[in-house]
Structure 1
Amino acid sequence: MSIPQPERLHLESDAANGYPNSPLPVLIYRRALDAHSAEERAEGFEALFKRHGWPPAWRYHLYDFDHFHSTAHEALGIFRGQARARLGGPDGRDVMLNEGDVLVLPAGVGHASLEADDDFCMVGAYPPGQAPEIERGDPAKLAEAQARVAKVTVPSTSPVGGPLDALWK
């Protein structure tokens, strides 16, 4: 199986809203996994992420409020439905997420669901030793969040396979 090339989305810091974002690009793998049923896709994402060193942590939807994680990178595998998401905080960019897509969010990148199918669901995963805190933008605490983001180590592999350092430049 060949590793798909991801779309790369660079997001600047949103200081006005207190979202650090990241100098590393968001990676969007379109149709990274194709399966006949949602359950097969969920299990497939869990196996794929685990195989590449990103242990799966949950199955859930995307919160409908802007938030970020300054202590962990995050992989999201969409196994059911579709959603229009915003990346980068309240003034960020909209992206469509569909079944089979994988979103890799560097620590600090704001994200929220703007609209989603009622059954929209994802598998979430994090690199070993990284635990996410749910944070909302606060301009007064931006420097602290940026300092935490800068300390998060970059794993050697992407959650879908292949080296991550070449993609996160």
Structure 2
Amino acid sequence: MSGFVEGLREVYFEDDGVIPNSGLPVLMYRGVLKDRLGDVEAVFNGNRWLNSWVNGVFGYHHYHSNSHEVLGVVSGEVTVQLGGEQGQAFTLVAGDVVVLPAGTGHKRLEASEDFRIVGAYPGGISYNTRTGEPGEYEQALGEIPQVPLPDTDPVFGVDGPLVRLWRGEN
């Protein structure tokens, strides 16, 4: 199903008892915005992924139990670990976009000096940040299923792959 956008990859992560992750796949769009690096935030905002920021990625495992998140690399490169301690490392470069379903752990392992990334949330939700502290896990398990599916893909809008994939449509 991911073949309708070149460079799209779906990755699933299991609940590890600390980081819940999600039954939805992480979506990686390799190089999708490489020719629009100055417009990444505007692309996300134009597709109603708001409350955006430009910065880096925390160097510790964390996740958002009340919102999905899109991250778009605007300069440099970063290696992130997705899925928690038992997860997998990925190197992202300028132009790459990754969409994290609510509950998906992420952590910066290393980054170039010029690394910058844009983050945004569907509908501009005010996201929380969970770090796997005792007591968070059970609460997060109740919150994650309540997070609505986005109406739009952060890159491709209403007809984008996220909308179809996360809703189980062909």
Q: TM-score range by the shorter chain?
A: 0.7 to 0.9
- The reply to whether residue 164 of structure 1 matches residue 162 of structure 2 is yes
How far is 1:165 from its partner?
3.3
Letter in 1 for 2:85: P
Instruction: Measure, in 2, the Cα distance between the counterparts of 1:3 and 1:44.
Output: 20
- TM-score for the superposition, normalised by structure 1: 0.88
| Cα distance in 2 for residues equivalent to 1:151 and 1:166 | 19
Q: Which residue of 2 aligns with 1:14?
A: 16
Pairwise CA distance, 1:63: 0.8
Could you tell me which of 19, 36, 44 is aligned with 2:39? Answer: 44
Letter in 1 for 2:11: L
- Is 1:27–1:103's contact at 8 Å kept on the other side of the alignment? yes
Displaced runs of 4+ in structure 1, greater than 3 A? Answer: 2-5, 138-141
Instruction: Tell me the residue number matched to 2:30.
Output: 30
How many pairs were matched up? 161
Once residues 140 and 63 of structure 1 are traced to their aligned partners in structure 2, the CA distance between those partners, rounded to angstroms, is 21
Once the two structures are TM-superposed, the CA of residue 141 in structure 1 deviates from its matched residue by 3.3
Partner of 2:73 in structure 1?
78
Query: Which digits, 9 at most, give the CA deviation of each residue in 1:8-66, with x for residues without a partner?
Result: 00001011xx111000000000001123xxxx61x311121122111251000111111
SS at match of 1:166: helix
Q: Structure 2 unaligned segments of length 5 or more: list them.
A: none
CA distance in 1, matches of 2:111, 2:92: 9
Q: Does the Cα contact within 8 Å between 1:19 and 1:138 map onto a contact in 2?
A: no
The answer as to whether partners of 1:71 and 1:132 remain within 8 angstroms in 2 is: yes
Shift of 1:160: 0.8
Residue 70 of structure 1: how far off its partner (Å): 0.4
Task: Quote the residue 1:121 is aligned against.
Answer: 116
Q: Offset at 1:98? A: 0.7
**How well do the aligned residues superpose, as a CA RMSD in angstroms?**
1.7
Comparing 133-142 with 75-84, which one deviates more in the overlay? 133-142
Give the counterpart letter for 2:29 in structure 1. Answer: Y
Q: Which runs of 5+ in 1 are unaligned?
A: none
> Do structure 1's residue 99 and structure 2's residue 97 form an aligned pair?
no
Which residue of structure 1 lines up, in the alignment, with residue 60 of structure 2?
65
Deviations 1:103-123 (A, max 9, x none): 100010000000110121101
Preserved contact between residue 20 and residue 142 of structure 1 (Cα < 8 Å): yes
CA-CA distance at 1:91 after TM superposition:
1.8
Does 2:129 align with 1:134? Answer: yes
Identity %, equivalent residues: 40
